[in-house]
A and B are shown apart, each in its own frame.
Chain A
């Protein structure tokens, strides 16, 4: 069935290092992808999105890479800061407006 999976449940990085969070999706019809950040006790917040006609998109300190061949996307956070500590999850839209969400990766930033 459809699924969106994350490769690691927890990622610990040193403050100032770069973070890479990965996500795999199974539905090749997915044409839109989003990364969300969820801090403890809060709702998910939009970080960055990418459409299937792109393979890379950059925001402020964040980059999303999309590899449609292997159905994989990643979120890169440059110069990770303590405020980046949160759960990150990806979502894909298979064209139905009902997104498929991954289970999340918890990012811990070590001082």
Chain B
């Protein structure tokens, strides 16, 4: 019954490393999103994609990039990991419809940068 899958639950990376977070959805959703979640700050949008190869910056894109080569897969890339990118990362997807159905979230990836 799993619909949005994030490849790792926990990751520990070193400062300066290039980090890839993968997300796959099996619901044929057009929209996919990457959020980070920090205590007291809620969910903040990093990037979203509304179609294959299309992407838009969210509220906090600095230090991140994304890739969407296939409809079902949306990757978040930390070009050079820094300690302030230690966070919970959540991937979500949604259907484009005049009847809004909300986001489906993955289980999250807790990233620690040391």
Q: Which residues of B contact A103 (CB under 8 A)?
A: 40-42
Complex interface residues of chain B between 58 and 95 (CB less than 8 A to chain A)? 58, 90, 94
Q: Helix, strand, loop or mixed for chain B's interface?
A: strand
Residue in A closest to B102 when the chains form the complex, CB atoms: A34
Q: How many residues of A contact B (CB 8 A)?
A: 22
- Expressed in whole angstroms, the Cα–Cα distance for A105 and B42 within the complex equals 10
Q: Which of A41-49, A53-61, A64-72, A77-85 contacts B (4 or more CB under 8 A)?
A: A41-49
The reply to whether A46 and B42 contact each other, CB–CB distance below 8 Å, is no
Q: Which residues of B contact A25 (CB under 8 A)?
A: none
A34-B102, A44-B90, A103-B40 known; A98 vs B45 contact (CB < 8 Å):
yes
Residues of A within 8 A of B (CB): 31-32, 34, 36, 41-46, 49, 51, 89, 91, 93, 97-99, 101-104
